[in-house]
Structure 1
Amino acid sequence: MGTDFTGLFNEWAQTYDQTVTGGDIQYKEVFRFYDEILNEVVQHSKGNVVEFGVGTGNLSKRLLESGLSVTGIEPSIKMREKAAEKLPALTLLTGDFLSFPPLQNDVDSIVSTYAFHHLTDEEKGTAFHLYKELLSKNGRIVFADTTFETEEKKQQMIQIAEDKGYNRLAEDLRSEFYTTLPTLSQIAEDAGFCISFKPLNQFVWLFVAEKLNK
């Protein structure tokens, strides 16, 4: 990927679970309804699942509990260690959205939460084309991530964060590759997917991209 975030996530591994449960006031709204967001992704997943950006294994755990077969892919060694502690039976590979080892099974669902924004829009397009080839017939992508309806809405949210003194959040929104719904729609269409969106909190949207078999 264009930017290497593994150092950040190695540092964050110890406190990640506290952050997602509201322990960091600056990110409390980003992770509001966290449990429900994970459940939404699980509900739309099927068959053999590949999860990118496993983190500490919170989504993986729910996918496994729902009876799905899961292969997790995570670039951060510290995050992988945390996930392995929680889920010793999880198949866990080193890799990221664009670079990962060969997969042993057919892939019916590709899932992720709070991670796809680490790719530039160009890289997101590359990923969608890659996943089109990887997915089985009628396969799908199920992602939940911070996304904005328009670029203007993104700038408004940055301003709100600054006005509250949430400088870390504001810099995060400025510096990482948070995209817009129209851009994601075009990326999905160009790669041969039909995509739908659902808002899950004021930052996070669920997007489900169904592979078109032409």
Structure 2
Amino acid sequence: MGREFLDLFEVWAESYDESVEGHDKEYEEVFRHYSRILNTVAERSHGHVIEFGVGTGNLTARILDRGLKVTGIEPSPAMRKIAEAKLPGKAQIHDGDFLTFPEVENPDTLVSTYAFHHLTDEEKREAIGLYGKLLPNGGKIVFADTMYESAEAFKDAIDKAKENGFHNLAADLEREYYTTIPILKAMLEENGFRASFSRCNDFVWLMEGEKF
């Protein structure tokens, strides 16, 4: 359920905001258009929002700025501490993950950025099945995450990272559970969602599923 990466999250917590601001050359492309990506996810949200993988609270702040109610889910104590300091008293942030989280009444939109790849494909399928039961008709999943058009494109990304000397990035790509758009599209459609995907940069796509 992604919790096998908790030690990594604890290490990332203090440097995450610096990385997303483009100060880490290896991850510069991963986080290109970061602010625009967060704004797009926030703009496509409505009603009561559950955010999975709150991290340091950057997306949470944008959703709150739109006047929406946010229930945050974050497994990392270090990340939660930073997010809560940024947003004192403005949002509830609970210990949890994509599959195990406190009961939330009447959610309308489920959002996440840069986190769904911490689940295996089997766990992603389980999560989307859960969301299909949780959301009403018209409810939405809006996730921005690294994914690929094909297995070949994924392999090419790893090879390119190695060629560029981006060894940490290559290790991340090989260690975590990145998947392909056709697999995610099938998961969404099997659970009653209309699926669409739009590219944000060379790594990140916006995945939207609307329940019908």
Is TM more than 0.5 here? yes
Q: Is the 8 A contact 1:128 1:191 kept in 2?
A: yes
Residue equivalent to 1:59: 59
> Any idea what SS the aligned residue of 1:209 has?
strand
Post-superposition offset of 1:7: 1.2
Task: Name the amino acid aligned to 2:187.
Answer: I
Residue ranges of structure 1 left out of the alignment (5+ in a row): none
Residue equivalent to 1:22: 22
* RMSD between aligned residues: 0.9
Partners of 1:187 and 1:130 lie apart in 2 by: 11
Partners of 2:176 and 2:56 lie apart in 1 by: 21
Q: Is the 8 A contact 2:2 2:97 kept in 1?
A: no
Residue equivalent to 2:168: 168
Deviations 1:51-70 (A, max 9, x none): 00000000000000011110
How many matched pairs?
A: 211
Post-superposition offset of 1:190: 1.4
Q: Is the 8 A contact 1:10 1:79 kept in 2?
A: yes
Post-superposition offset of 1:8: 0.8
Partners of 1:34 and 1:2 lie apart in 2 by: 22
TM-score, scaled to structure 2: 0.97
Partners of 1:57 and 1:10 lie apart in 2 by: 15
Partners of 2:138 and 2:118 lie apart in 1 by: 26
Indicate whether 1:101 and 2:102 are aligned. Answer: yes
Residue equivalent to 1:92: 93
Q: Is the 8 A contact 1:140 1:208 kept in 2?
A: yes
Residue equivalent to 1:73: 73
Residue equivalent to 1:4: 4
Post-superposition offset of 1:102: 1.3
Task: Name the amino acid aligned to 1:43.
Answer: E
Residue equivalent to 1:41: 41
Residue equivalent to 2:138: 138
Partners of 2:84 and 2:166 lie apart in 1 by: 33
TM-score, scaled to structure 1: 0.96
Q: Is the 8 A contact 1:138 1:211 kept in 2?
A: yes
Post-superposition offset of 1:3: 5.1
Q: Is the 8 A contact 2:148 2:154 kept in 1?
A: yes
Deviations 1:131-178 (A, max 9, x none): 111112310100000010111011111111000100110111111111
Q: Is the 8 A contact 2:3 2:75 kept in 1?
A: no
Partners of 1:15 and 1:171 lie apart in 2 by: 18
Task: Name the amino acid aligned to 1:90.
Answer: A
* Cα distance change, pair 2–13 in 1 and its aligned pair in 2 (3 A): closer
Which of structure 1's runs of 4+ aligned residues deviate more than 6 A? none
1:182-193 map, 5 Å: 182-193=182-193
Partners of 1:106 and 1:181 lie apart in 2 by: 28
> Any idea what SS the aligned residue of 1:97 has?
coil
> Any idea what SS the aligned residue of 2:195 has?
strand
> Any idea what SS the aligned residue of 2:99 has?
coil
Residue ranges of structure 2 left out of the alignment (5+ in a row): none
